Amino acid sequence: MTVDKGHTNTAFVGDEAINGKKPPQAKTIDPNMYTLEIQEKKPGLEAEYDPFQHRHVEHPTTNNETLIHLLKGSLGTGILAMPNAFHHAGWTVGVIGTLLIGLLCTYCIHLLIKAEYELCKRKRVPSLNYPAVTQTALLEGPEALKPLSKVIIHVVNVFLLIYQLGTCCVYVVFVSSNIKAIADYYTETDTDVRLYMLIILLPLILINWVRNLKFLAPFSTIANFVTLVSFGIILYYIFREPISFEAREKVGTMSGFALFFGTVLFALEAIGVILPLENEMKSPKKFGGNFGVLNKAMILIVTLYVGMGFFGYLNYGSAIKGSITLNLPEDEILAQCVKGMLAFAIYITHGLACYVAIDITWNDYLKKNLGDSPRSVFYEYIARTVLVLITFLLAVAIPNLELFISLFGALCLSALGIAFPALIQTCTYWHQRKGMAKVWMVAKNSVIGVVAVLGLVIGTSTSMIEIIHTFGHDD
């Protein structure tokens, strides 16, 4: 399992930015702003500057390495929830819907990376992170949107923060639920899952006290290997019985589709890692394009998600749970090992998942007020502890894996993965495109924006209604 490591309080990604050094081109106006200094434009100046030629990355990644990183960033707990998503939507709608959502997400990512390249070219900077791209695009767009450029940084950060904390909540629920499934079988008791959340709380806090990301990297490597083996065993259980379409719904309900939409977005989108991965490539031009790294990765990812959702739902039907691991046979050692292995893999990567939330909270906000204090390190540990406690308390309040995944997918990724890229492209080329080309761009991106807003509003409200109904009924 991997995590978005792309959020840094600098417009540059790579070893130089991590080490606190900026390339010669880096200039900032305001330390509280993300955008970089806009140089006076001269005739032909934009055409002379190629951002790809000015990126200083000490250890650039190859195309294959980037492909692997992108696959690891997308293949997480979300894929284990895909059979449940197909149960909500029906297997026909599930297949078609996943393909369409995958196409939409891929297209929006292309919009984002193309806009970043264009903005870097205009501003004569090597690279920009997500908040910087969004703010710079608004400054380049319609006059009416320019006043929002200062606010948009915080809006993007809030969505990133909510998404990362939501991912951590999913991790807590996933780990606790799988531990409970194992323990309940062997102890022949039905223990509240919240007790297992409490048991893992202190180690979670200690993991998140690790301040240097490189110390967490070995854990990620172990988790990736364990996850790969576990997926193979899950596929064995899916295909060892004949696949049947009997009593399997082709089309689900509208409310079920809303839950499906949020789950698929949560599972497919790795929007936070896109720009960092592209910025650190040895050949960044090969990231996009018809046969580029992005399209190859998304084809593999969508295929895997459709396969897991389709065959997982056909195997277990309406009995499917929030994670397919919870449907594996309780009386078989191999199945119990899978639950334990994945719980371990997700558990040890919680620190990586929470790292981005800590980075946003501490480096972008708290450090500006407390960073000069002689007790700043102490305050940082307090901030790390509080963030872990927030994810813990949310998980305790709503210990339901499928509803968590759907909620945070609809709430955050509708905006980060769909709406913002459409807005960014519109603003970036607002003054460059004329006539029907501009009309087409605005109309197309308006439709994408409407889809994103509908997905956000309907998906979030449906998830909240289901949460209230589920836990109100339990009470």
Question: Got the DSSP string for 274-321?
Answer: HHHHHHTBSSGGGTSSTTSHHHHHHHHHHHHHHHHHHHHHHHHGGG--
pLDDT of residue 70: 83
Distance of alpha carbon 192 from alpha carbon 456, whole angstroms = 32
The reported pLDDT for the residue numbered 369 is 78
Question: What pLDDT was estimated at residue 65?
Answer: 84
Among 332, 340, 345, which Cα is nearest to 240's? Answer: 332
Name beta bridge partners: 36.
Answer: 28
Separation CA 315–CA 127 (nearest Å): 46
Q: Cα–Cα distance between 288 and 286 in angstroms, integer?
A: 6
Task: Please give, one letter per residue, the 3-state secondary structure of 406-457.
Answer: HHHHHHHHHHHHHHHHHHHHHHHCCCCCCHHHHHHHHHHHHHHHHHHHHHHH
* Angle of helix 217-239 versus helix 333-348 axis, rounded to 10: 150
Question: What is the reported pLDDT for 371?
Answer: 63
d(CA 48, CA 270): 32
**Residue 101: HSE in the Cβ half-sphere, 13 Å Cα cutoff:** 30
* Three-state secondary structure call for residue 12: coil
Q: How many CB atoms lie within 10 A of CB 246?
A: 6
Tens of pLDDT, residue by residue over 183-215, are 999 988 889 999 999 999 999 999 889 887 677
What pLDDT does residue 178 have? 93
Provide the residue type at 434 as one letter: K
Q: For residue 448, which phi and psi values (nearest 5 degrees)?
A: -60, -40
**What is the rounded CA–CA span in Å between residue 245 and residue 435?**
51
The CA distance from 122 to 271, in Å, is 23
**Do 234 and 328 meet the contact criterion of CB atoms below 8 Å apart?**
yes
SS3 210: coil
Per DSSP, what are the bridge partners of residue 61?
281
Counting as low any pLDDT under 50, the low residues of the chain are 1-42, 46, 475
Closest CA to 15 of 73, 78, 57, 60: 57
Q: How far apart are CA 155 and CA 132, in angstroms?
A: 12
pLDDT number for residue 453: 94
* Phi, psi at 363, each rounded to 5°: -70, -35
Which amino acid, one-letter code, is at 360?
I
Euclidean distance between CA atoms 135 and 427, whole angstroms? 10
Euclidean distance between CA atoms 19 and 271, whole angstroms:
24
Q: Are 148 and 383 in contact (CB under 8 A)?
A: no
Task: Dig out the tokens for 6 from the structure.
Answer: 């792309």
| Angle at 102 (CA atoms; ends 97, 105), nearest 5 degrees | 125
Give the Cα separation of 164 and 166 in Å (integer). Answer: 5
pLDDT at 47: 54
Closest CA to 422 of 122, 107, 98: 107
Instruction: Estimate to the nearest angstrom the gap between the alpha carbon of 243 and the chain centroid.
Output: 32
Predicted confidence (pLDDT) per residue in 319-344, tens digit: 999 899 999 998 899 999 999 999 99
Burial group, residue 14, by CB count within 10 angstroms (0-12, 13-18, 19+): buried
Dihedrals φ, ψ of 28, to 5°? -125, 150
